[in-house]
Amino acid sequence: DPKIIQKPKYLVAVTGSEKILICEQYLGHNAMYWYRQSAKKPLEFMFSYSYQKLMDNQTASSRFQPQSSKKNHLDLQITALKPDDSATYFCASSQRIQAPLFGEGTRLSVL
């Protein structure tokens, strides 16, 4: 059974729209992360949360907003989508500063 669930697996959006990427982890980890990976850029850190508190933010654009309704949830809201946002978005979690474990990713295409 997957321990980190990301939904949806694939997502197609039009330019200017808004989407929410879902992530839940059932490992009891206290830290959750979002990373982005595309053909143009390597695996890129976006956010980290611990116990629903933002720990670090490396995303310049305010169009990307993490949302944590429970300590094992960390969703990612993306507004005013652009074609450049097309990428695979990975959610990950870890216990304190142990190695992050990754979900299977959400592949986003913006047309």
Partner 1 sequence: QQKVQQSPESLIVPEGGMASLNCTSSDRNVDYFWWYRQHSGKSPKMLMSIFSNGEKEEGRFTVHLNKASLHTSLHIRDSQPSDSALYLCAATSGGNYKPTFGKGTSLVVHP
Residue numbers at the binding site for partner 1 (CB under 8 A): 31, 33, 35, 42-45, 48-50, 55-56, 58, 90, 94, 97, 99-105
Residue with Cβ nearer partner 1 (14 or 53)? 53
Residue with Cβ nearer partner 1 (48 or 72)? 48
Q: Which residues contact 14 (CB under 8 A, 6 or more apart)?
A: 81, 110, 111
Task: Tell me the backbone φ, ψ of residue 39, rounded to 5 degrees.
Answer: -65, -30
Nearest-approach distance from CB 82 to partner 1, in angstroms: 23
